[in-house]
Amino acid sequence: MAIVNRKNAVLGWAVWEAVKFTARQKARSAARNAVPSVDLQSKRPNKPAVVAAIVTAAGVALLVRKVTASSNGHAPPPEE
């Protein structure tokens, strides 16, 4: 009796497709819930959204500063 046969191959393929579908659905659901949104009552962005925007802007500013300094031939200033 062979373990690898057509019936087991089809069953394995079906299970794999179901697992991929479930993982995709969970990822989409998590992505929808992870994005900070606007508070519906106060019509203002919530605090995590504001903090994420500030941190992102600071990171981009540091990256641009470092890239600009290295492209000019100067070493970037020491970090504090």
pLDDT tens for residues 32-46? 776 656 667 777 777
Cβ pair 57, 51 in contact under 8 A: no
pLDDT tens for residues 17-75? 999 999 999 998 887 776 656 667 777 777 877 888 899 999 999 998 888 777 666 66
Cβ pair 46, 36 in contact under 8 A: yes
* ∠ CA 39-40-44, rounded to 5°: 45
The pTM (predicted TM-score) of the whole model is 0.41
